[in-house]
Structure 1
Amino acid sequence: MALGRNARRILIIDDDPDALSLMRSLCLDAGVQIDEAMDGATGLERAVAQTPDLIVLDMVLPDAGGIEILRRLRAEPRLAAVPVMVVSARRDQTSKVAAFEAGADDYVLKPYDLREVLARLRSQLSRRETLEKLERANIELRLANERLEELAITDELTGVANARHFRTRLAEEFLRAERYQTSLALIIVDLDGFKAVNDDHGHHTGDRLLSQVAGRLVAEARSTDIVCRVGGDEFAFLLPHTDLDSAEHLAQRLSERIGATPLRLAGGKLAGVGLSCGVAAWPECAEIASADELFIAADQALYRAKRAGKGVVISAPAAGTAQGPVAESSKKRPGLPTSPRQAEAH
């Protein structure tokens, strides 16, 4: 009688030739592949190397007690889920309890009752198969959850982090900067000329352009920088351990490189777009005491940059310098802070 449709491998660790021969015949008749070891050291070595589906372990071995070998088997991470069936002529309760406490899954008495042994082998192999299915299901579930988590924080169009993830990371990085008294800079960039591309070539072409811009922005980022899409044609660079001067240089480089290289549209057409940038940094810029205020400072700087022309980089005022009128961006971004309107209406 076969023990299962799939080929299974059993490791038998037993120095009794008669018991070994009987178990070998039983397994072979049942269509199960077997490996054998006649001492504990060899059995342990083969178990680790092969990771069998079931281990049949005699309580008495020439080089070590079966309980000791069982403990060493259970100490191996690769063998944690492999069932172990202890076989022994010892019928006393103490031996049985000792085997189960050391990690045995079953205890079978010698001499064997063939029908009982076959039933127990089938039960343990079935249990092993069930555990493997559960393990595979858990892995698939974990991977699916990781994928869902990734999708939840990723902008579908561009592949960079979305506004939701930006809000979370901005708050986290601001708290970290405050705690360790390190600089934190933020650049908000807006595409110049994007509306014209959308109007002239359609939204599909505009989406393709946004994806290309996102790729170029990511290429300019350091491994510690966080690039996010925070609005229709707006992106944010969150820069841990970066002061205002360094952030300004990066913003200027972004603006120059994006503006100097036309982007290729469908059909081979080229579109020239630029970047306007607003820059702010904690603790250098004035009146910033929270993550929201850092965002508002960079957003107001971006608004002034857009008013000044194309390809302009403007930073929020540094602490101790005169600050002009506060402007409100014309952009509305769900979930992101907005500055109070104190300038002229748009």
Structure 2
Amino acid sequence: MNLLVVDDEETLRSVLLQVLEADGFKVSEAASGEEALQSFREVSHPLVITDIRMGGMSGIELLTEIKQHNPDTQVVIMTSHASLDSAVTCLRAGAYDYLIKPFESLDLISAVAGRAAEKARLVAQNRELVEQLKRTNEELQQANDALKEMAVRDGLTGLFNHRYFQESLAKEISRAKRYQKHCSLIFMDVDHFKVYNDTHGHPEGDSLLKTLAGILKSGVRCSDVAARYGGEEFVLMLPETSKQDAVRIAESIRSRVADEPFPGRDKQPLGIVSVSVGVACYPDDGIDAPSLLSFADRLLYEVKRSGRNRVLGQPPPVTDR
């Protein structure tokens, strides 16, 4: 252990140096408090033995500076019988122990230094354990956050999953009721996805779904929720969004998908990869999550039935036959 001896008497420093080096310490020395403080700032010694009275900076002042720089450093004060009260003052200021000069026995120096060194080691070990525990807790928190994220995300696309979307939609509609706000829902399905899978294989089909998810992510606000509803079906919840704005957003997404150069899209029945979209808005199209989803699903089915690659926000008019 590195140890710093501070005393303005060279003879005393020499005695301490011999005793402490014999005990296995790596000893540095300083002839004044100012010199010791400079040395300590360069190398933060875990143990310091200093005289209480020196020309210039006193041992008490040095103790105060050291504790401000590194509270874990153990400081032993050397004092004479006449200044024993000052030693008590140093203990109250944070010194570990004191030695009375002249020394009754050199073994006493070794004993006090040994105890102080053990205290310094225990303090260092305790701090390391605390830091390890802190790091472990941070790692556990990160792992828990990752697990929570995995629990609400679709493994393929990275969008939110079906369960999370259902919970979010129910909460948002409840909030919309309380504050009398709109909440729109976009329900979409990839047209002829089975044909694409059968023609190009499931890996290419997965790649298509991931690309589509990226298009959805790039077009949503932080308050929106984009999710994979199941298979090739996707949903997008738009808080505080009117039907008109939701239809406009849905049309933008439909157009971007149709323009995306998916591999082999020319072999699809429509000559492109496209989506069919139904749009619903609370409270006009449903007063709760199930009714809103059902309305959007019916519109989606109508788009599928009437040719696909279209956005529908209202049911077609009923005509008399």
Q: Same fold (TM over 0.5)?
A: yes
Structure 1 residues 269, 293: closer, same or farther in 2, change over 3 A? closer
Alignment match, 1:243: 242
Deviation at 1:15, TM superposition (A): 8.2
CA deviations on 1:111-142 (whole Å, 9 max, x unpaired) are: 26111112111111111222222122122212
TM-score (norm 1): 0.64
**Counterpart Cα distance in 1 of 2:150 and 2:317:** 40
1:126 aligns to what SS in structure 2? helix
Map residues 251-290 of structure 1 onto 2, 5 A cutoff. Answer: 251-264=250-263, 272-283=272-283, 285-288=284-287, 290=288
Question: Given that residues 264 and 270 in structure 1 are in contact (C-alpha distance below 8 angstroms), is that contact kept between their aligned partners in structure 2?
Answer: no
Alignment match, 2:138: 139
Deviation at 1:157, TM superposition (A): 0.8
- Of 98, 111, 129, the residue aligned with 1:110 is 98
Map residues 157-196 of structure 1 onto 2, 5 A cutoff. Answer: 157-196=156-195
The alignment-based identity, stated in percent, is 33
Question: Given that residues 227 and 238 in structure 1 are in contact (C-alpha distance below 8 angstroms), is that contact kept between their aligned partners in structure 2?
Answer: yes
Deviation at 1:227, TM superposition (A): 1.3
TM-score (norm 2): 0.69
Unaligned runs of 5+ in 2: 79-83, 100-108
Structure 1 residues 20, 124: closer, same or farther in 2, change over 3 A? farther
Deviation at 1:310, TM superposition (A): 0.7
Structure with a larger share of its residues in helix: 2
Structure 1 residues 213, 286: closer, same or farther in 2, change over 3 A? closer
CA deviations on 1:231-290 (whole Å, 9 max, x unpaired) are: 10011111122111000011112112212333126xx9876211111111123x2441x2
Deviation at 1:230, TM superposition (A): 0.9
Question: Given that residues 162 and 228 in structure 1 are in contact (C-alpha distance below 8 angstroms), is that contact kept between their aligned partners in structure 2?
Answer: yes
Deviation at 1:110, TM superposition (A): 0.9
What is the aligned length? 284
- Of 285, 300, 311, the residue aligned with 1:313 is 311
Deviation at 1:159, TM superposition (A): 1.6
Deviation at 1:95, TM superposition (A): 6.8
Deviation at 1:197, TM superposition (A): 0.7
Map residues 1-346 of structure 1 onto 2, 5 A cutoff. Answer: 30=25, 83=72, 85=74, 108-111=96-99, 113-264=112-263, 272-283=272-283, 285-288=284-287, 290-315=288-313
Q: CA RMSD in A?
A: 4.5
Structure 1 residues 224, 17: closer, same or farther in 2, change over 3 A? farther
Question: Given that residues 183 and 239 in structure 2 are in contact (C-alpha distance below 8 angstroms), is that contact kept between their aligned partners in structure 1?
Answer: yes
CA deviations on 1:182-220 (whole Å, 9 max, x unpaired) are: 321110110012110112222222111111111122222
Structure 1 residues 64, 196: closer, same or farther in 2, change over 3 A? same
**Counterpart Cα distance in 1 of 2:13 and 2:291:** 77
Unaligned runs of 5+ in 1: 4-9, 74-78, 325-346
The structure with the larger Rg is 2
**Counterpart Cα distance in 2 of 1:260 and 1:314:** 19
Structure 1 residues 144, 120: closer, same or farther in 2, change over 3 A? same
**Counterpart Cα distance in 1 of 2:314 and 2:28:** 73
Question: Given that residues 6 and 49 in structure 2 are in contact (C-alpha distance below 8 angstroms), is that contact kept between their aligned partners in structure 1?
Answer: no
Deviation at 1:144, TM superposition (A): 1.4
Structure 1 residues 314, 67: closer, same or farther in 2, change over 3 A? same
Structure 1 residues 280, 286: closer, same or farther in 2, change over 3 A? closer
**Counterpart Cα distance in 1 of 2:220 and 2:203:** 26
Query: What amino acid maps onto 1:195 in structure 2?
Result: K
1:264 aligns to what SS in structure 2? coil
Question: Given that residues 276 and 312 in structure 1 are in contact (C-alpha distance below 8 angstroms), is that contact kept between their aligned partners in structure 2?
Answer: yes
Structure 1 residues 114, 67: closer, same or farther in 2, change over 3 A? closer
**Counterpart Cα distance in 2 of 1:156 and 1:260:** 26
